[in-house]
Amino acid sequence: METQLGNMRLHERNGVSYLTAPALETQDWVHHAFSTRLGGVSTGDCATMNLGFDRGDSREHVLENYRRFCTAAGFSMESLVATAQTHKAAVRRVGREDRGAGILRPKPWHDIDSLITNAADVTLCVYGADCVPLLFADPVHRAIGVAHAGWRGTVAGMAVETVRAMGEAFGTRPADLQVVIGPSIGPCCFEVDAPVMEAFAAIPALRTDTVVRDDGNGKFHVNLWEANAILLRKAGVSQITCSNLCTQCHSDLLWSHRATAGRRGAACGMLAIKENGHDSVL
């Protein structure tokens, strides 16, 4: 089953719901998907598709969720490599020797909010539940990246750091990149106080009137989607697709930290270079 939702496609297979971006589906050398909160075995606050090991869920439940999601969405569970997100802007290059890190075995790194690779059948995993997941695909050099950009990561330039790192590692040119801004809290719901607003206002590349809306009561709404898009465009990236899916507005389908007051599971965006031009599982 497949339906359109925002700028994404919602799929359902074997009881598991997941999202894909048409802009990346045209790239036949990569495979990607974003999880929803539906189709897993977790219970309580994490019901049902929780992919975070740090949410108070049992490891057995989380691993079974990965198995179900990977089978439905077409990934090899053994190929997964996880970020170590701490709202910073550090990037790490990974390869086949890192497969399983953070999922099947402990991560050997810390404070890594972005992963990049040009190795086939290495699935990069980025997490969120309101924060912005970014997927990067360079079809010329056959290289990919993922990044986690909450408001702190956005202000720190996480998106631009990933572009820069891919350029240094693989020769990626910003103009060649396809970038997807995944499901995350939208400008409709991301209300902040003055210190957060001022962090965005202090970035010269951002036009505050485009990214920040003054509510007139000491509160502001920030557009994380547009902030990341502006910074990417300033870095030379023009092929940018925004999911236009707000996690808080769609909290029945997507994990939202704000909608659940922090009592929630974690979603995952996955991106891989296909092995020999074929999906790992499907």
Q: Is the pLDDT of residue 278 over 50?
A: no
> In percent, how much of the chain has pLDDT > 90?
95
Residue-averaged pLDDT of the chain: 96
Please give the average per-residue pLDDT across 143-157, as a whole number: 98
Q: Is the pLDDT of residue 281 over 60?
A: no
Q: Is the pLDDT of residue 208 over 90?
A: no
Q: Which residue, chain included where needed, has tokens 């957060």?
A: 196
Which backbone phi and psi does 119 adopt, to 5 degrees? Answer: -90, 135
Q: What is the pLDDT of residue 195?
A: 97
Q: Is the pLDDT of residue 256 over 50?
A: yes
The terminus-to-terminus CA distance of the chain in angstroms comes to 16
Q: What is the pLDDT of residue 175?
A: 98
Q: What is the pLDDT of residue 270?
A: 99
What are the pLDDT digits (tens) for 132-149? Answer: 999 999 999 999 999 999
CB 150 within 8 A of CB 87: yes
Where residue 67 falls among pLDDT bands split at 50, 70, 90? very high
Please give the average per-residue pLDDT across 71-75, as a whole number: 98
CB 121 within 8 A of CB 274: yes
For helices 224-234 and 158-170, the axis angle rounded to 10 degrees is 40
Please give the average per-residue pLDDT across 6-24, as a whole number: 97
Cα–Cα distances (Å) from 273 to 4, 17, 132, in that order, read 25, 22, 22
Q: What is the pLDDT of residue 2?
A: 87
What are the pLDDT digits (tens) for 181-203? Answer: 999 999 999 999 999 999 999 99
The CATH code that applies to domain 2-273 is: 3.60.140.10
Bigger pLDDT: 207 vs 31: 31
Q: Which of 96-100, 189-193, 205-209, 245-249 has the lowest mean pLDDT?
A: 205-209
Please give the average per-residue pLDDT across 37-63, as a whole number: 98
So where are the chain's domains? Answer: 2-273
